[in-house]
Structure 1
């Protein structure tokens, strides 16, 4: 789709913004400063270097304005925007995500592969350890499936571990999910999740980045990426994280942005639970079931989708009749025990069932 159909600016101004975006040491605040000072990106690029210096910009930024690399990169971005399902959202345009626009350093440009309309839907961020335990991965998947089924877009960073489990689980139930990269969309990282990202785009979800399309993975990019994950979302759920985890950065940013912070507790002997326990001590909401999240976001949930007709899960129906052990439920339902255990985990997270003394009971 042509970029001129998406934005109420001239093609030359769009090209100028893409060039400005590629300049070294021009982050979100300096990008806005230049446009506000000169009236447009086009005028800022043609302004004398002395005018840039008077604004406090480093010489390297002004010197790079006319470099072939900057011009060529902008041309590549313009060609990228001509392709289907590839878009750009700009901070001063009406279709820029409203929640993200509220943060102090909102990205001036946001590249979107997939459906950009998702950026305006109610989102719940899920983050956690890249080296998550199997129980942590299962918990992330269960919460993601339930939250996606409740109408929330699941937003995360497409990293290994908890992020990937959350994205994948949302897709499995036909839900929608947004991946926020710390690299350019044409320089995907981590490569192991490239297929997952492609599946997200193909199934109507989205992958986004504030960085130029060819931006390589750099350590400083990922904390910047985290502010977008929290900035797009109504709240952030931390599933499993050590004290040194980047997920705690996302949670801290969420709190500073006025978003809700949720944390799932774990064993005091598990290092991956210590970050969540620290968040809870700092005021995050302790979460054991999906209801703990939905209670605070019920209004958004109602706005995001019509109230569904109540559907009773077959296992819950059996438990309404009488308490059962896991094995008895497998026999009564005719399902494999592994499938029954997985379903019971999700139902427990949703607050529909509870296990007491080895027997499962339906919650009234």
Structure 2
């Protein structure tokens, strides 16, 4: 996304309590470039709260500039949105996908097959060994290991993957310039060199308790399945498992002792139908069909990657694009012609605008470029 479009997109997504639905509604009223020039009066007329207006008028530019400065300081730093080709394909499928991802490290790793490993911060010695060994064996089968950089199971999983010569992805509950916990700062650096750090929070954002349950949907969303090694009845690992079930991902559980309170939650997942595993092969048996499908799809993509576009059928959102011409067409007219809901029309138009097929003008949208 070009910087002049990325900046207002970041500002909207940094705005306190501004939901995805509210952002979609704003974009149905005006283009990103026009929204970037709004005054306090305009924002008030658009229905934003005084807190949101104050942020957009007084604070947003500074925090957007800080994010863009962070981006410019290293060649392996990225800010990606759902409109980017590099946005993780599995994450694109979930209903609550983040509108912005900050990435440091090897961006391509986010689209590689991965298994999440999560569990207790106060992991037992056995669970530490299991996390480490399962991670080491998973990377030997060309899988990445994804976790949350926390103490306990997360840290041992990341370390096991790296020491086995594999790659790992860490999803943070803070900004990438505010590594948490600090004890894992060196581990985070190793992950940057052999995987990626990921966060939906602006780089300077400090860790907050509310952030960690939110980041868990990204851990599960990036992965084909989630392995729970040890989890109490009330733990973040169970939140990750719940997200995985909602996202139609596999949930694997290493059973624990009935006398260990830290295993009550994970054992409960098995009672609810999660897959009990005792070794890595049990996981591979479950996901092999999906891996074969991904390999086939990758080969097909490679074969067609450089074919020229020579028909309108190959353009994105061809039904919508066919109804946008040289004269400005309003959004409501496009929705009426295509029988597509207005919110979906707005999201498609935004993607078409970012890819250079249409442009927002006074009165609606017109086609441009190869469109």
**Same-fold status (TM-score > 0.5):** yes
Instruction: Mark the CA change 1:56 to 1:288 in structure 2 (over 3 Å): closer, same or farther.
Output: farther
Q: How many residues align?
A: 295
What is the deviation of 1:99? Answer: 1.0
Offset, 1:29: 4.2
Question: What TM-score results when the alignment is normalised by the length of structure 1?
Answer: 0.76
Q: Residue 165 of structure 1 corresponds to which residue in structure 2? A: 156
1:76 equivalent in structure 2: 66
Asked whether 1:21 is paired with 2:10, we answer no
Aligned mates of 2:197, 2:87 — CA distance in 1: 15
For the structure 1 residues 221 and 12, does the alpha-carbon distance in structure 2 shift closer, same or farther, using more than 3 Å as the test? Answer: same
Please give the secondary structure, in 2, of the residue aligned with 1:183. coil
Between the aligned partners of 2:26 and 2:202, the Cα distance in structure 1 is 18
Tell me the SS of whatever aligns to 1:237.
strand
CA distance in 2: counterparts of 1:142 and 1:305, whole angstroms: 26
Distance in 1, Cα, partners of 2:181 & 2:25: 33
From the superposition, tell whether residues 184 and 35 of structure 1 become closer, same or farther in structure 2 (CA, over 3 Å). Answer: farther
Match of 2:224 among 231, 234, 242: 234
Q: Contact 2:40/2:57 (CA < 8 Å) preserved in 1?
A: no
What is the TM-score with the length of structure 2 in the denominator?
A: 0.75
Q: Distance in 1 between matches of 2:21 and 2:140?
A: 38
2:230 is the alignment partner of 1:219 = no
The answer (yes or no) to whether the contact 2:228–2:266 under 8 Å persists in 1 is yes
Question: SS at 1:293's partner residue?
Answer: helix
Cα separation, 1, equivalents of 2:189 and 2:134: 23
Distance of 1:36 and 1:300 partners within structure 2: 37
Name the structure 1 match of 2:182: 191
Shift of 1:299: 3.0
Q: Using the alignment, how far apart are the partners of 2:93 and 2:163 within structure 1? A: 32
Aligned to 1:105: 96
Give the drift of 1:226. 0.3
Task: State which of 193, 196, 217 in structure 2 corresponds to 1:206.
Answer: 196
Q: Distance in 2 between matches of 1:35 and 1:292?
A: 46
Question: Residues of 1 paired with 2:93 and 2:294: CA distance?
Answer: 20
Please list every run of 5 or more consecutive structure 1 residues that lacks an aligned counterpart in the other structure: 1-6, 307-364
Matched, 1:253 2:243: yes
1:270-312, CA deviations, whole angstroms, 9 ceiling, x for partnerless residues? 1111111110111111111111111111134446789xxxxxx
Q: Does the CA-based 8 Å contact 1:158-1:179 persist in structure 2? A: yes
* Aligned 8 A contact 1:183 1:215 in 2: yes
Distance 1:248 1:110 in 2: 23
My pick for the range that moved more, 297-306 or 218-227, is 297-306
Call closer, same or farther: CA 1:35–1:119 in 2, change over 3 Å.
farther
- In the alignment, the residues of structure 2 paired with residue 134 and residue 273 of structure 1 have an alpha-carbon distance, to the nearest angstrom, of 13
Whether the 8 Å CA contact 1:20–1:45 is kept in 2: the answer is no
In the alignment, the residues of structure 1 paired with residue 183 and residue 19 of structure 2 have an alpha-carbon distance, to the nearest angstrom, of: 29
Which stretch shifts more, 16-25 or 166-175? 16-25
**Aligned 8 A contact 2:179 2:188 in 1:** no
1:24 CA displacement: 1.7
Per-residue CA distance 1:95-121 (angstroms, 9 max, x = gap): 211111111121111000001111111
**Aligned residue number for residue 50 of structure 2:** 59
Pairing of 1:145-160 with structure 2 (within 5 A): 145-160=136-151
Of 280, 289, 301 in structure 2, the residue corresponding to residue 290 of structure 1 is: 280
Q: Moved runs in structure 1, 4+ residues, more than 6 A?
A: 303-306
Match of 2:227, SS? Answer: strand
SS at match of 1:242: coil
- Matching residue of 2:76: 85
Between 278-287 and 20-29, report the one with greater CA deviation: 20-29
The CA RMSD measured in Å over matched residues stands at: 2.0
C-alpha displacement of 1:70: 2.1
1:109-128 to 2 correspondences below 5 Å: 109-128=100-119
Once the two structures are TM-superposed, the CA of residue 146 in structure 1 deviates from its matched residue by 0.8
